[in-house]
Structure 1
Amino acid sequence: MSDSSTAAEQTYRVVRNDEEQFSIWWAGRALPDGWYPEGTEGSRDECLARIAEVWTDMRPLSLRRRMEEATAG
């Protein structure tokens, strides 16, 4: 079995951190500290499509908040 066929068969999950940044991680493996499951599992392409759908603002949450405060103040 080649590496590409193994990767195609691998199940991933969409994960998110406290800064509302997204990534994919192998399903069944422990998540790194600070990352939480978003709820989507599937192929790599399915997970990346989900991220493209939900992660529309690439700025970290802390930066978005600071920018909103600066605009409001």
Structure 2
Amino acid sequence: MQWTVLVDDQQQHALYPADRPAPAGWHPTGFTGTEDACEAHVDAVRPDVRPPA
């Protein structure tokens, strides 16, 4: 299964099935891959999971 990384307006990231449209309020980041690859990508670009202040 392929996953895509989504981001919301608070810069929170989520993994979502790549074959489905993004839910309201979420936008694709352009990164798609395996679940492990997507998790590694999120860890690299957003190591602090708290929403920005």
- Please give the TM-score of this superposition, normalised by the length of structure 1: 0.68
Kindly provide the CA deviation profile for residues 11-44 of structure 1, in whole angstroms up to 9, marking residues without a partner as x: 0001000000001000020111100001100000
Overall identity of the aligned pairs, in %? 34
Say whether residues 1:21 and 2:12 are aligned partners: yes
Bigger relative CO (Cα 8 Å, ≥ 6 apart): 2
Structure 1 CA distance, aligned partners of 2:3 and 2:46? 17
Larger radius of gyration: 1
Hey, which of these two has a bigger chunk of helix by percent?
A: 1
Count, aligned residues? 53
SS in structure 2 opposite 1:45? helix
SS in structure 2 opposite 1:49? helix
- Counterpart selection for 1:58 from 40, 49, 52: 49
Hey, which of these two has a bigger chunk of strand by percent?
A: 2
Unaligned 5+ runs, structure 2: none
Structure 1 CA distance, aligned partners of 2:31 and 2:49? 19
Q: CA RMSD in A?
A: 0.9
Following TM superposition, the consecutive aligned residue runs of length 4 or more in structure 1 with deviations greater than 3 angstroms are none
Say whether residues 1:47 and 2:38 are aligned partners: yes
